[in-house]
């Protein structure tokens, strides 16, 4: 569903991934954070990665912090995922 054409489906998929903490989705979420055209979807992908937690998720967040996502990641880490 992450590759769906409707934003509602994509957000729903990210919510399910967050709840189940699906580490198998991390690479796809990383790709979305880097290359998705819609900024809101990029940001939600970063938040979803943070919700999944774990070593691989943190490694991805560290990498994303070296990109244009630094401010968002710093904000999320300071105020929480849903801020």
Could you tell me where the beta strands, DSSP code E, fall in 1-52? none
Residue 48: other Cβ atoms inside 10 A: 26
What is the arithmetic mean of pLDDT over 27-33?
95
Pick 78 or 27 by higher pLDDT: 27
Report the share of the chain in percent with pLDDT over 90: 70
What is the C-alpha to C-alpha distance for residues 81 and 35, in angstroms, rounded to an integer? 21
Burial class (CB in 10 A: 0-12, 13-18, 19+), 11: middle
The per-residue pLDDT of the chain, averaged, comes to: 91
pTM recorded for the entire structure: 0.87
Q: Where are the domains of the chain?
A: 7-79
What is the C-alpha to C-alpha distance for residues 72 and 47, in angstroms, rounded to an integer? 9
What are the tens digits of pLDDT across the range 8-26?
999 999 999 999 999 999 9
Residues counted in the chain: 83
Given this model, what pLDDT does residue 41 score? 93
């Amino acid at each position: 569903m992450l590759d769906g054409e409707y934003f509602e489906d994509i957000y729903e998929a990210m919510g399910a991934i967050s709840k189940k903490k699906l580490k198998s989705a991390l690479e796809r979420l990383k790709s979305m954070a880097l290359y998705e055209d819609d900024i809101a979807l990029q940001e939600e992908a970063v938040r979803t990665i943070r919700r999944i937690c774990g070593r691989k998720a943190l490694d991805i967040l560290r990498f994303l912090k070296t990109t244009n996502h630094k401010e968002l990641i710093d904000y999320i880490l300071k105020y929480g995922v849903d801020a």
